[in-house]
Chain A
């Protein structure tokens, strides 16, 4: 009996473990339910912060390679980049899961009971602004895409899937949607500038509206002026020409709203040093009056590596440096203060070298914005000059020869041969190969180029100068040349170069190019004006499609009267052997076959 009792007791003990199935119930550490999020204003802001971190597309300073794709800069790290064409998904944006998250957020915010009316409207405005920005990035790459509104889709097994299949909107419809969303939310958003321009404000919404409208207007205008306009039969690609004037008017009104707001201006805090002024207007956050919306960075927390990657070797604080460098194509598009031809004069009419006492003399009287955008040979950065010297030149039997060395090596007379900064024609890492370094967005803060700290440099997306240029372009297209000229001259006067007396379209193209270098404008501008295939025409050694470098040499030839002076060679940089080749099919990204498989109502883009 005793044995049996013990036996039963043990069996009972054994099976009492079945109640220990709550032994398997565990709580997660970081997962919050919808209620926990939307009943807490701080958590709602945390979700908004997650969204602000997911909307950086196109060229930006956290992706230095993106600057080497066009005609602004070349990769200088390692060996040659054989790129020539443009990929079918270059800078293509397609993020409907972010769209779904934004719609879920809108639903939650609208239903939340812990927010006062003003905050609720502001959060709704910011979410819809981010959503409009997302649609804008999609439409400028691909054309019309499905507009899902505020829908948060649900799937139950067995339901009719065709109800979930939204067709692509027309290109015009999607631009209209973006414009109408910006109009609807502009009064929800604050009127005062946000801290470091990181959050959306009324003026950011108006800038997005102006930019979207001028894009739509130029597409309606220039697409239809092509020999064979790019369009689909359903209008997903291709805006009718008669809509152009309407869009330009919307763009002009929105841009002028921003210009007259009184909240921002073309920053001119250093009128005596226009170059420094231009650098500070874009790359210094304190007391900044120009930038309207930017991607901000802060240490510790989130920093970017643009300075770390691209700092000149002579000024580097850690192991990285000289990943990419601006090219001569950009430098020569900057005018001289009183001369519209921007070419650097290296040889005279007979093909003989022009000698300069100092390398920076070759850039004397250039547009001061050049100083603020690019570090050229001899320019000062953080107090010391950046020495760019490819080698030494000497005359032998009437022919100029040159000698180069390992970086930083001097000859027997202690004269430098090749600078530690380069430029060289080797395949080494960490040395310049174009003759120029970035200055725009290069952070002067100490330790900004170290891996440990990195840079807090922001990346401006909208700034006051763009409102002025959009107004200039829209006024020009609306046949208001005087207004257009006034705005264009505002930009040129702040820059410190001569004003114009008449406007041509090329002036607008060129001004956009030099004002907004490295700000993710060039690619989209040339696309919407349908100039991309003409500028990047795939012709070997063309002045616009090939990437050019400027190599400075010191003349070291004691018998020569020009001993100790500087000469320059213009060469096609060996780092980009192939010219840029933009084809008709590159005007619109390809629609991924996977999306078509999932939704048969999606149509392909032309040339696909």
Chain B
């Protein structure tokens, strides 16, 4: 049983509470039959003030840019009268309180019940069954109040209303997610001398329902929290959206003396999504391993002195995925869809029914072919161990249209998609670990790295109009999510340099340039900077880095233990945009480290005063469409970082002290997460994707605690 109570990131905002329970019971009813049951459940609640907009944590963060430092949150500093701090009323978080802005509460009540039984039919032959029931019930209530913002009139000492929002918002979402899974298996294990075999045959099903209703009303007063039918204006019933999947599986393992290992397995899966004659897919796989270090010739040679363990392995398999993009369940049906569009006719709103397009009968499972080959080895009697893997996943059957069958657009429909395209992930995985004991110090050091690159692979009959088109737009067998842009080459240092610059840097004859503005490389030498000068300048922006690595350390000495992990990433791109780049974007502010490092006049009232250089170009309001802010390496950064992810330091009291008590183990510890990081980005956390820098960074957490065992 546990309870967690965590405050929100924003002061006085609310937070997250969770209570959870877990129980497990296992019984051996006879010596052949064992049954077990488990239950785990939790109630979790999120609370914060009722804030306009979908993401209630967005406005306070956005306020950091929008609120101008020249305006104070309260009129005349009187806390009873919040005022307008920017052109966007919601950014003044003086009024984002439970009293003034309302309340958002989201509660999930989750329970999961598992029942399993195992029966030993004969020697080595077992039957197993597992049924699991998962129910997650949600109730979300959100009320946003009407509010007033005030000014201050010095002469009369009154607070006139300068802004008023008379639009309250009351919503409720209620529904549940229910999942029933079942799995029955027959398994057989036998060891005959050096040969051991294992086999499994089984079937599994999963069914998921998510009925939900969403209600919206306009309450007549901020003090009224219930929803009345008379003030309700939207009722959305989303229906069950039942998902059902069924699969048969089988696996056969054979190994000889732990030296040669072989496995075959296969699945036969069906999904409710596809039409009846395309519903099923067969997905086999196979793997083999060879423990060379067990071979006689190895043991007898000098190799066994260095490599105490050496194993080669390889596997190849096929898996299916029914999550086909652009294809929804029941797309194979024609007819009409109710509640789609509509208009006001005969004086009232009439819900519309939209004709569906052509039934889609040409799409089925996406298939992934996964190949892996690897080596495990350990040296020096197990002190140093390592493993290395190369993997390659080719996904085929991605949906695309056969464009070469040209139906005139005037027929009013286009040909449905078929499983035509493919993509690929390829990479390497390396792990090395050294563990040893010196006197009373036991320690281990490990390093790991993964490099995983995504490629767009086959397209259906790709065609291009010219070689530039191939270079710029082809995605056939090429790195995926290439990030294109211009290449920046420093900044203009003086007016003379701009006047004599031979390349048209801003596509307006350099008329708009000032010292400090970004210079671009004219890659194709045509004298003007435009799309033809774009080259790949970065990696994918909104995804995990291509290269991830880490170091793990652990030390144990007498009763003290210390473990810490460093993790890092590279080959990822972050685009510095919006308020991080556009001067006074939308009438708001920019970060201090940006504004203080720009080119500027020594005296802003004197146009002839000297120019002070800086890292960024000159700030001018309304200038965001200037050539300085084009997509280029000046603003797109390749991110590299290394963070101290986990650290735990503990002390266990020695047994000599505990023997006299009934406590069997007592340990104190201090632990931390994300304590420290190194990165090449300034001002933002390297693990965020938001291009305006407003995402909350990874949190630094410090824990102190103790564990007791009786």
Contact between A24 and B271 (Cβ–Cβ < 8 Å)? yes
Q: B residues 324-366 with Cβ under 8 Å of A?
A: 329-330, 333-357
Residues of B within 8 A of A43 (CB): 336, 353
Contact of A408 among B89, B162, B233, B348 (CB under 8 A): B162
**B352, A49: Cβ atoms closer than 8 Å:** yes
In the complex, A99 Cα to B412 Cα: how many Å?
Answer: 7
Chain A proximity mask over B165-182: 1 for CB below 8 Å, otherwise 0: 111110000000000000
A229 at the B interface (CB under 8 A): no
CB contact under 8 A between A452 and B167, given known A17-B246, A297-B344, A302-B349: yes
- Given A14-B201, A28-B333, A161-B406, is A49 in contact with B345 using a C-beta cutoff of 8 Å? yes
Interface contact B346-A50, CB-CB below 8 Å: no
Give complex CA distance A300, B351 in Å.
12
Contact present for A428 and B87 (CB under 8 Å): yes
- Let me know if B410 and A46 touch, CB within 8 A: no
Q: Which stretch in A194-202, A205-213, A462-470 binds the other chain?
A: A194-202
Contact residues in B for A7 (Cβ distance below 8 Å): 121-122, 125, 186
| A272 at the B interface (CB under 8 A) | no
The answer to whether A31 touches B201 (Cβ under 8 A) is no
A414, CB-defined interface residue at 8 Å: yes
Contact between A49 and B343 (Cβ–Cβ < 8 Å)?
yes
The reply to whether A50 and B411 contact each other, CB–CB distance below 8 Å, is: no
Query: Once the chains bind, are B121 and A10 in contact (CB under 8 Å)?
Result: yes
Q: Is the CB of B348 within 8 A of A298?
A: yes
Complex: A414 Cα to B156 Cα, angstroms? 11
Question: Taking the nearest CB of chain B, how far is it from the CB of A490, in angstroms?
Answer: 30
Contact mask for chain A residues 406-429; partner B; CB cutoff 8 A; 1 contact, 0 none: 001000001000000000000111
Q: Is the CB of B270 within 8 A of A24?
A: yes
Q: A49-B345, A161-B407, A317-B166 are in contact. Are A31 and B244 (CB under 8 A)?
A: no
Residue of A nearest to B211 (CB): A29
How far apart are B359's CB and chain A's nearest CB, in angstroms? Answer: 11
Closest to A592 in B: B409
User: Are B347 and A298 in contact, CB atoms less than 8 angstroms apart?
Assistant: yes
Binding-face segment, A335-343, A372-380, A389-397, A595-603: A595-603
Decide if B346 touches A198 in the complex (CB within 8 Å): yes
Q: Mark A301-336, 1 if CB is under 8 A from B, else 0.
A: 110000000000000011100000000000000000
CB neighbours of B342 from chain A (8 A): 46, 49-50, 53, 301-302
Which chain B residue has the least Cβ–Cβ distance from A35?
B335
Residues from chain A with a CB closer than 8 A to the CB of B407 are 155, 161, 164, 598
Asked whether B411 lies within 8 Å of A100 as measured between CB atoms, the reply is yes
Q: Which of A15-52 contact B (CB under 8 A)?
A: 17, 20-21, 23-26, 28-34, 36-37, 43, 45-52
Give the chain A neighbours of B239 by CB distance below 8 A. Answer: 29-30
Instruction: Establish whether residues A32 and B586, one from each chain, have CB atoms under 8 Å apart when the complex forms.
Output: no
Q: Chain B residues with Cβ under 8 A from A48's Cβ?
A: 345
Q: Quick check: is B475 within 8 A (CB to CB) of the other chain?
A: no
The answer to whether B356 and A199 touch across the interface, beta carbons within 8 angstroms, is no
Does A46 contact B351, Cβ atoms closer than 8 Å?
Answer: yes
A104 located at the interface, meaning its Cβ lies under 8 Å from any Cβ of chain B in the complex: yes
CB <8 Å contact, A24 and B279: yes
Q: Residues of A contacting B343 with CB < 8 Å?
A: 49-50, 52-53, 198, 295-296, 302
Q: In the bound complex, do residue B337 and residue A31 qualify as a contact, i.e. CB atoms below 8 Å apart? A: yes
In whole angstroms, what is the CA distance A37 to B345 when docked? 19
Which chain A residue lies CB-closest to B330? Answer: A28
B439 CB to closest chain A CB (Å) equals: 57
A597 and B407 CA atoms in complex are apart in Å by: 9
| B residues less than 8 Å from A451 (CB atoms) | 167
Contact indicator A21/B270 (Cβ below 8 Å): yes
Enumerate chain A residues within 8 angstroms of B408, measured Cβ to Cβ. 146, 161, 164-166, 595, 598-599
Q: Within 8 Å of chain A (Cβ to Cβ): is B622?
A: yes
Output the least CB separation between A606 and chain B (Å): 21
Residue from A3, A17, A50 whose CB has the most chain B CB atoms within 10 Å? A50
CB < 8 Å: which of A153, A447, A452 contacts B412? Answer: A153
Report the separation of the CA atoms of residues A318 and B169 in the bound assembly, to the nearest whole angstrom.
12
A450-B167 in contact (CB<8A): yes
**Chain B CB within 8 A of A122 CB:** no
Q: Which of B214-252 contact A (CB under 8 A)?
A: 218, 233-234, 239-242, 244-246, 248
Given contacts A96-B410, A595-B409, contact A13 B345 (CB under 8 A): no
List 11 contacting pairs A-B, 8 Å CB cutoff, sorted by A.
A14-B201, A21-B279, A31-B330, A37-B335, A47-B352, A164-B410, A199-B346, A300-B233, A408-B151, A429-B87, A447-B166
Q: Rank and list the top 3 A-B pairs by shortest CB-CB distance, nearest first.
A: A301-B349, A100-B412, A50-B352
Besides A49-B345, A53-B343, A452-B167, 19 new A-B residue pairs in contact (Cβ under 8 A), listed by A number: A3-B121, A14-B202, A24-B244, A25-B276, A31-B335, A31-B337, A31-B338, A43-B336, A46-B352, A47-B355, A49-B353, A50-B343, A100-B413, A164-B407, A194-B346, A296-B343, A318-B165, A319-B88, A451-B167
